[in-house]
Amino acid sequence: MNSTTIAYTPIQVAEMLQVNKNTIYSLIKRGEILAKKIGKVYRVSAQSLSFWLTGLDYDLYLAEKEDSKNIASIQKDIATVRRSL
């Protein structure tokens, strides 16, 4: 998910999750993904999508994403140091 995008189309959500768009429409109809109907089309908010995917509020999702930028190098260094302790 892009941190500047506020809402996604069902097709974009399907592409992100690598599922068929009908699966997303079905999840929206069942209420599993909260979406807003604007005229004849649906939009899924970034907040709704992050909560559905991670169980985290959007700000917490972004805060974890911030940490994820460095986590691979941090864990690599920790693993190296732990082997030497």
Partner 1 sequence: MKPAKIKVYLDSDVIISALRSKAGAANLVALNGDLSWQISDIQALELAKVCKRQGLKLQKYKTIKINVKAIFSRYVLDRNDVHIITGAAKSKAKFLITYNLKHYLKDKIKEDLDIVILTPGQMLQYLRSRE
Q: Which residues bind to partner 1, rule: CB under 8 A?
A: 54-57, 60-61, 63-64, 66-67, 69-71, 73-75, 77-85
The nearest distance, CB 73 to partner 1, in angstroms, is 7
Nearer of residues 41 and 60 to partner 1, judged by Cβ: 60
* Closer Cβ to partner 1, 22 or 75, answer by number: 75
Nearer to partner 1, 4 or 37 (CB): 4
Residue type, 84: S
E strand or H helix that includes residue 71: helix 58-84
In angstroms, what is the minimal distance from the CB of 69 to partner 1?
Answer: 7
Q: Tell me the C-alpha distance between 24 and 51, whole Å.
A: 15
The torsion angles phi and psi of 33, rounded to 5 degrees, stand at: -110, 125
Residue with tokens 């190098």: 73
